[in-house]
């Protein structure tokens, strides 16, 4: 198990003492599953910090599960208090795998509250040369690639004369398929799905996980990698063999959470019925280690 500290003295947006845990479990037949959890920063104004924290965690998860290999790599469950609401930009990064964060002010990224007089988040959340990975894909890069990106980053942040053109046109020649400072966007390579639906067909909230400060909302999640080993459903468009035997996670059941009206009637959390300020999320999965040739799995 890896305990990941989210504080780094060299990075301005990693200045809070939050953390994450990432564990890789192995079954008797050798199949594996990764389980991670975290508690991201609460501050509704600082979605830029939450985005950087989440990116660091996703980078380390990808190092463990290798999602770019055939059939999406090792299955992963990622849960915790993300301090973001459904359909907020941070939520969409998890669900859709990419986010154009430079379109938002820091407070809008997590969707918890809105504030005035905040500027949009500038491209380049961290120094890729120092952190070892880019915003695009969150995958580790070689030292030659990072050296040039380090110079690009310094040019952007320190106003170097190297900037002969607007930053939106810059890219690194050694990693020209990546755009760490070109578009102010971020992406990852895991095809996540939430164990809960969050919003019904009419756009109304189906359930909430906390009720504090006179507001009931969802901020806690159980995400899992969604891949059923068929070409049409393979993450990232891989041409997977339909008879591939890579392990697959199947959601079997989940604990029903109270809705917003139900919590309003019950009162703020914690109360005499529920002793925590958050509802407990629970889900049961089956890990099919050989989904094609047999139907047995491990829960």
For residue 206, the model assigns a pLDDT of 78
Sign for the CA dihedral angle at 10, 16, 17, 23 comes to negative
Q: What sections of the chain are H helices per DSSP?
A: 47-65, 89-96, 106-110, 128-131, 143-158, 260-266
Would you put residue 137 in left (φ > 0), alpha (ψ -120 to 50) or beta? left
For residue 34, the model assigns a pLDDT of 95
For residue 290, the model assigns a pLDDT of 62
Structure tokens at 48: 């830029």
Element (DSSP H or E) covering residue 253 = strand 248-254
Q: Can you tell me the distance from the alpha carbon of 108 to that of 89, in angstroms, rounded to the nearest whole number? A: 8
Alpha carbon distances (Å) from 152 to 118, 146, 166, 187, 225? 26, 10, 12, 19, 34
Q: Can you tell me the distance from the alpha carbon of 258 to that of 34, in angstroms, rounded to the nearest whole number? A: 28
Mean pLDDT of the chain: 79
Q: Are 260 and 205 in contact (CB under 8 A)?
A: yes
Q: Tell me the DSSP string of 66-106.
A: -TTSGGGSS-EEEEEE----TTSHHHHHHHHSEE-GGGS-H
Closest CA to 221 of 88, 116, 99, 123: 88
Q: Are 176 and 237 in contact (CB under 8 A)?
A: no
Q: Can you tell me the distance from the alpha carbon of 221 to that of 36, in angstroms, rounded to the nearest whole number? A: 12
SS3 33: strand
- State the virtual CA torsion across 292, 293, 296, 299 in degrees, nearest 10: -40
SS3 199: strand
SS3 263: helix
For the chain, how big is the Rg over CA atoms in Å?
Answer: 20
pLDDT digits (tens, 9 = 90+) for 132-186: 787 777 877 666 666 666 565 555 555 444 333 333 334 444 444 444 445 688 8
The set of residues, in sequence order, having a beta carbon less than 8 Å from that of 161 and lying 6+ positions away, is: none
- From first to last of its 299 residues, the chain has per-residue pLDDT tens of 889 999 998 888 999 999 999 999 998 888 899 999 999 999 999 999 999 999 999 999 999 998 766 566 889 999 999 999 998 999 999 999 999 998 999 999 998 776 766 788 887 788 776 787 877 778 776 666 666 665 655 555 554 443 333 333 344 444 444 444 456 888 898 999 999 988 765 666 678 999 877 778 899 999 999 865 444 444 444 455 544 556 888 999 999 998 888 888 888 888 888 899 999 999 999 988 765 544 555 54
């Amino acid at each position: 198990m890896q305990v990941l500290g989210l504080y780094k003295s060299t990075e301005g947006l990693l200045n809070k003492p939050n953390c994450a845990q990432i564990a890789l479990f192995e079954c008797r037949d050798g199949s594996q599953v990764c389980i991670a959890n975290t508690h991201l920063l609460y501050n509704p104004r600082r979605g830029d910090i939450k985005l950087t924290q989440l990116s660091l965690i996703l980078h380390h998860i990808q190092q463990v599960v290798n999602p770019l290999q055939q059939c999406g790599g090792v299955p992963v469950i990622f849960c915790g208090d993300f301090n973001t609401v459904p359909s907020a930009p941070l939520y969409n990064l998890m669900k859709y795998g990419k986010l154009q964060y430079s379109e938002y002010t820091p407070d809008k990224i997590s969707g918890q509250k809105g504030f005035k007089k905040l500027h949009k988040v500038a491209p380049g959340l961290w120094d890729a040369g120092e952190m070892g990975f880019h915003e695009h894909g969150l995958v580790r890069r070689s030292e030659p690639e990072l050296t040039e990106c380090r110079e690009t980053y310094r040019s952007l942040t320190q106003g170097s004369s190297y900037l002969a053109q607007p930053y939106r046109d810059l890219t690194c020649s050694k990693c020209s398929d990546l755009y760490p400072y070109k578009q102010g966007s971020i992406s990852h390579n895991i095809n996540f799905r939430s164990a809960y639906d969050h919003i019904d067909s009419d756009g109304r909230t189906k359930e909430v996980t906390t009720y504090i400060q006179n507001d009931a909302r969802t901020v806690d999640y159980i995400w899992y990698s969604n891949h059923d080993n068929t070409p049409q459903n393979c993450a990232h468009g891989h041409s997977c063999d339909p008879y591939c035997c890579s392990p697959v996670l199947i959601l079997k059941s989940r604990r029903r959470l109270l809705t917003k009206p139900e919590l309003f009637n019950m009162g703020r959390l914690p109360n005499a019925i529920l002793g925590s300020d958050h509802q407990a999320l629970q889900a049961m999965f089956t890990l099919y280690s050989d989904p094609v040739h047999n139907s047995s799995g491990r829960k």
